[in-house]
Amino acid sequence: MLGNAEILQCAGETIMARFLMAMVGRTFATAIGRRQFAAPIQGALDLTKHLMALVVFRDLPQLGGRI
C-alpha cells in the first residue's frame, strides 16, 4: 500500500512529465508554424520559459545537498 508521500510524489512526477510534453509539443508546433505558414504561435517562448522554471524548481528539494 502506498503512503500519502508516495502518492504525492507520483502525482508530482506525472504533472511534471505532462509539463515537459507540453513544452516539447508547443515548441514543435511553433517550429512547424514558422516554417510552413510563416506564423509561429504567439507567446510560445514565454510559456516554455515558465514551464521550464516550474519543472526545474519543483525538483530542487529532491536533490538536497547534492548540487
pLDDT given for residue 27 in this prediction? 93
Q: How many CA atoms lie within 13 A of 25 on its CB side?
A: 6
State residue 24's pLDDT score. 93
Answer whether 25's CB lies under 8 Å from 47's CB.
no
Q: What is the pLDDT of residue 37?
A: 92
The pLDDT of residue 49: 92
Supply 14's cell numbers.
506525472
Question: 2-49, pLDDT tens digit by residue?
Answer: 788 888 888 888 888 898 999 999 999 999 999 999 998 999 999 999
User: What's residue 56's pLDDT?
Assistant: 85
pLDDT of residue 60: 74
